[in-house]
Chains A and B, each alone.
Chain A
Amino acid sequence: MSATATPPPKKVNRIGLEVMGYKGAKSTLCAGCGHNSISERIVECFFEMGISPMRVAKLSGIGCSSKSPAYFLGLSHGFNAVHGRAAAVATGAMLANRNLLGLLVAGDGDTASIGLGQFMHLLRRNLPLIYIIEDNGVYGLTKGQFSATADIGSTLKTGVANDMPPIDCCLLGIEMGATLVARSFSGDKRQLQALLKAAIAHKGLSLIDVISPCVTFNDHLGSTKSYAYMKDHDHLLHEVSFVPAYEDISIEMAEGETRDVELHDGSKIRLKKLDRDYDPTEKLNAIRAIHESAKAREVVTGLLYINPKERNFVELLNLVGEPLATLLESRTRPPKEALAQIMEELR
């Protein structure tokens, strides 16, 4: 007689799904690639927030970063677009179905070079979308050329130093109209999780620039996007945590130690003060923080800017509540009388 062992109860989230339902295919990126950590954070956050993966549309451009959507949320539709132009595909998709939760993963090449125009206009529209830049300062898939986010003086493996000023995508985001702008580091699990969850809850364009070292082409001494450099130069703006609306937890905090930003669904981003108080609802604070840290050759990370109240693109267009994609013919084809009326006017 053998004893039947009762398997331990499987851990499910609030919509009854296991974490397996949030995973993707096995990564084909290099071992140690920062992008793999970001994929893991995405799996955790969507699972923990109880977002149905069937609601999510994953989009990407071209490059190592853009391969990564295959490695998370396997139950979500994905679209690997052309280089730099996932922004346009995402815009079309989100207008076709406003109920989708859009997640775009792009590289620094996609965002700051070939797709810079589309990136700026995406920001301007405040499309409800999470835009993650997996920022490593190099073109990995074409074997290690500098990207437009590489810092002046940062060197390639060959010793060649970059002499062009970097494009700071967070500065663009703040200036051009993104309503949640954050910078993080793929090696900072807690911070990235909190920011991602905030982005999931935010109803406008969320831009998260994640420094994500390329272990093959840009992780050496002399690179300003290496693990070692980030460990030494990551300047935390604050400690970020996320309190979802469905978890009514109140934590006792000393007065003046924390700052809460409430999102439209009632969830809260909680910012714990470190070396100074920082108000992320002020654009000028964010711009100053970025410039100061660049001057100090540091990388400022945290929630740089948020405006939870701004109207997003779908609201601006005043679309009907149902997805445009599946409206019935009776809603999209005007009646016979309408055509007759138009014809009469043209006689």
Chain B
Amino acid sequence: MSTSQVTAVPSGEAGPENRITNDFSIQVATVNGSGSQTANTVLMRSMFQMGIPVSAKNLFPSNIAGLPTWFTIRANRHGYIARKRETDIVVAMNPETARDDVLKLSAGAVVVYDEPLKLNDLRGDLHFYPVPFDKLVAPVCPEAKLRKLVRNMIYDGVLAQLLSIDLEQIRVALYKQFGARKAKAADLNWGAVQAGREFAERSLVKTDPYQVERMDGTAGKIIIEGNAAAALGCLFAGVTVVPWYPITPSSSLIDALIAYLKRFRIDKETGQATFAVVQAEDELAAIGMVIGAGWAGARACTATSGPGISLMAEFTGLAYWVETPAVIFDVQRVGPSTGLPTRTSQGDVLKNALLSHGDTRHPMYFPSCPEECYSMAIEAFDLAERFQCPVFVMLDLDLGMNNWMSDPFPYPTEPIHRGKVLTAEDLERLGGFARYKDIDGDGVGWRTLPGTDHPAAAYFARGSGHNEKAQYSEREDDYMNNIDRLARKFENMRGHVAAPEVSRNPKASVGIVYYGTSRSAAEESRDQLRREYALQTSCLRLKSYPFTKELKDFVDLHSRVYVIDQNRDAQMLALMRLELEPEQIARLRSVRYYGGLPLDARTVTEEIVRQEGL
């Protein structure tokens, strides 16, 4: 009978003084397509249901089945939800990576592994728990071909026993995951959980210090992926036209949106839809349809990632000049085509700000959590119609495709803002209009929609060469008047985009600026800097572009400002350089991470410490 094999670490149960409660990371190493996602989600949810703050990151390959994949779960009683760089507990299921996975661990870490892999010979300073998965799965899953999918649930049972996870919570999470329609599959998996737990109880002696304990850190919270949250934002923003083209990691945003639209936006009696979803032939067509729909008055959006954005560049420029609303969700990832399409990055910041040809600038939102994916999606539609322009909502793979804890989303308090649209009655009263004339002094002209039943309604939408009345013109003064008005319009957006979240520490001379998914790592890093290096910091979290006054004020108040970018070329910092004064620019420092994994706090801390010379 196997027992844990430990040499350099104390054997026997860890005493109460050595226990580490609700503060560890688990990494499950499997091959993709093996059904591990269910086991991992159930594991995370069960701790969440016990009130323990958790986060999960799926580090997966661009492949359907057979390549290595890692799922990391972090439980943290302080609510730190960034990826933890160090792994405390590894579940080694993949023979291909098991050796590496074990060799990378720090001393004292835990290894739950498939017994035939014999990993316990590799190191003497870890807690090893061998589990004979194949032997355990056979009796609970008579059908041999299903065993591959069910055997992963065994480690949920083993970990439940080792970490004191409430088995009932695993059961609840598991049945929720499968839903009522797959009750049989749930029963099968539940059998595997129990087999794992019973084996662990019978055959393993706990020697490691990790455990969970009920707390109340998750009351009222939900678990959702950022993409699904953005889809809910679209639903409650009243989106009507959704052309799209599949691309990882944005496809699940549209998948979720389609499901919600079918559920809530089809008339139960007539079966008719108040929306049109079109899977386009490519991203060029997708954005073209968004623009056509926006021109004709619909609330239209699409979702894509960096390579798709490249294809949308020409049309985005046209939308800037024609001045049609468009909402584009960019779920950012690493690089083009093959390589790392399933890894996260903030690589499109600079490109999207200036996308297209000629002088163009576009507003962007930077959600940092699911709730902001939802609320900023709603804001983006309003901004797009208010300012008649393309608006980018900048998620990334980490936010879009991973499960996040979140407060429930509030129902919108403001009515939908449709912007400046003249009806036939308005035209009758006014006698006519000039499409691109700045009547209100905000740089935004009034528009009419095709189909408006009035002889003065029509205008001709075209690129850069037009005058205030939308007539074709190549005159220098017409062009400059128009482009200057567009610049004024962009300036005015500063008062309407989301202002940054600022936390000012009066004792701090160091400021940290970050955006999007760098949030959780940055927040944790600030605590590390204070606790471990006595470095006080202020912070400013950017929520949108164009920048607002708060950013300049923040830079002025600090002698060194670290800008965190998840890209190689410090793209947000570069964008700030375009707007700040030379003495402000001199204060900027860059903290960058671009390895494709979700950012962790330690990486940020180490870089700031290095540059500060601490």
Q: Which residue of A lies closest to B314 (CB)?
A: A82
Q: Does A329 contact B (CB under 8 A)?
A: yes
Q: Does B195 contact A (CB under 8 A)?
A: no
Contacting pair B290 A92 (CB below 8 A): yes
Contacting pair B458 A78 (CB below 8 A): yes
Complex alpha-carbon distance, A343 and B221, angstroms: 9
Contacting pair B274 A80 (CB below 8 A): no
Complex alpha-carbon distance, A244 and B561, angstroms: 73
Contacting pair A100 B296 (CB below 8 A): yes
Enumerate chain A residues within 8 angstroms of B224, measured Cβ to Cβ.
346
8 Å CB contact of B273 from A78, A319, A333, A342 = A319
Enumerate chain A residues within 8 angstroms of B285, measured Cβ to Cβ.
85, 87-88, 91, 117-118, 121
Q: Which of B257-315 touch A at CB < 8 Å?
A: 260, 264-265, 267, 270-278, 280-282, 284-300, 314-315
8 Å CB contact of B272 from A21, A59, A318, A346 = A318
Q: What is the minimal beta-carbon distance from B410 to any residue of chain A, in angstroms?
A: 8
Complex alpha-carbon distance, A285 and B2, angstroms: 78
Enumerate chain A residues within 8 angstroms of B274, measured Cβ to Cβ.
319-320, 324, 327, 331-332
Q: Which of A324-347 touch B at CB < 8 Å?
A: 324-327, 329, 331-334, 336, 338-340, 342-343, 346-347
Q: Does A99 contact B (CB under 8 A)?
A: yes
Q: Which residue of A lies closest to B287 (CB)?
A: A88
Enumerate chain A residues within 8 angstroms of B409, measured Cβ to Cβ.
339, 343
Q: A96-B240, A325-B449 are in contact. Are A91 and B455 (CB under 8 A)?
A: no
Q: Does A323 contact B (CB under 8 A)?
A: yes
Q: What is the minimal beta-carbon distance from A43 to any residue of chain B, in angstroms?
A: 15
Enumerate chain A residues within 8 angstroms of B240, measured Cβ to Cβ.
96, 324-325, 327, 332
Enumerate chain A residues within 8 angstroms of B459, measured Cβ to Cβ.
77-78
Q: Does A174 contact B (CB under 8 A)?
A: no
How would residues 74 to 90 of chain A score, 1 for a CB under 8 Å from any chain B CB and 0 otherwise? 11111111100101111
Contacting pair A121 B292 (CB below 8 A): no
Q: Does A95 contact B (CB under 8 A)?
A: yes
Q: What is the minimal beta-carbon distance from B278 to any residue of chain A, in angstroms?
A: 7
Name the residue among A53, A74, A346 with the largest chain B CB count within 10 angstroms. Answer: A346
Enumerate chain A residues within 8 angstroms of B300, measured Cβ to Cβ.
92, 96
Q: Does B61 contact A (CB under 8 A)?
A: no
Contacting pair B451 A91 (CB below 8 A): no
Complex alpha-carbon distance, A203 and B537, angstroms: 65
Q: Which of B153-187 touch A at CB < 8 Å?
A: none
Q: Does B462 contact A (CB under 8 A)?
A: yes
Q: What is the minimal beta-carbon distance from A277 to any residue of chain B, in angstroms?
A: 38
Q: A118-B285, A324-B274 are in contact. Are A92 and B293 (CB under 8 A)?
A: yes
Q: Which of B370-384 touch A at CB < 8 Å?
A: none
How would residues 183 to 201 of chain B score, 1 for a CB under 8 Å from any chain A CB and 0 otherwise? 0000000000000000000
Enumerate chain A residues within 8 angstroms of B243, measured Cβ to Cβ.
88, 91-92
Q: Which of B506-522 touch A at CB < 8 Å?
A: none
How would residues 238 to 281 of chain A score, 1 for a CB under 8 Å from any chain B CB and 0 otherwise? 00000000000000000000000000000000000000000000
Contacting pair B295 A92 (CB below 8 A): yes
8 Å CB contact of A96 from B223, B282, B293, B314 = B293
Complex alpha-carbon distance, A333 and B261, angstroms: 10
Contacting pair B241 A95 (CB below 8 A): yes
Chain A interface bracket (under 10, 10 to 19, 20 to 34, 35 or more): 35 or more
Q: A77-B450, A118-B288, A318-B272 are in contact. Are A347 and B298 (CB under 8 A)?
A: no
Q: Does B566 contact A (CB under 8 A)?
A: no
Contacting pair A92 B296 (CB below 8 A): yes
Contacting pair A52 B292 (CB below 8 A): no
Contacting pair A343 B222 (CB below 8 A): yes
- Stretch of B209-217, B230-238, B330-338, B541-549 lying at the A interface: B230-238
Complex alpha-carbon distance, A131 and B387, angstroms: 32
Complex alpha-carbon distance, A85 and B280, angstroms: 12
Q: What is the minimal beta-carbon distance from A228 to any residue of chain B, in angstroms?
A: 33
Q: Which residue of A lies closest to B281 (CB)?
A: A121
Complex alpha-carbon distance, A97 and B299, angstroms: 12
Q: Does A55 contact B (CB under 8 A)?
A: yes
Complex alpha-carbon distance, A117 and B265, angstroms: 31
Contacting pair A74 B315 (CB below 8 A): no
Q: A79-B295, A329-B238, A329-B415 are in contact. Are A100 and B315 (CB under 8 A)?
A: no
Enumerate chain B residues within 8 angstroms of A16, measured Cβ to Cβ.
none
Q: What is the minimal beta-carbon distance from A18 to any residue of chain B, in angstroms?
A: 12
Q: Which residue of A lies closest to B298 (CB)?
A: A96
Enumerate chain B residues within 8 angstroms of A334, measured Cβ to Cβ.
235-236, 264-265
8 Å CB contact of B455 from A57, A75, A317, A342 = A75
A-B CB contact pairs (8 Å), 7 listed: A54-B458, A78-B459, A82-B288, A96-B241, A99-B451, A319-B276, A324-B293
Listed in ascending order, the chain A residues whose CB lies under 8 Å from chain B are 21, 52-55, 57, 59, 69-70, 74-82, 85, 87-97, 99-100, 117-118, 120-121, 125, 317-321, 323-327, 329, 331-334, 336, 338-340, 342-343, 346-347
Listed in ascending order, the chain B residues whose CB lies under 8 Å from chain A are 220-224, 232, 235-241, 243, 260, 264-265, 267, 270-278, 280-282, 284-300, 314-315, 318, 322, 408-409, 411-412, 415-416, 448-455, 457-463, 472
Q: A88-B285, A347-B408 are in contact. List 11 more A-B contacts (CB 8 A).
A: A55-B453, A77-B459, A78-B462, A81-B292, A93-B450, A96-B300, A97-B298, A97-B451, A100-B450, A320-B267, A346-B408
Closest 3 CB pairs of A and B: A88-B288, A92-B292, A325-B297
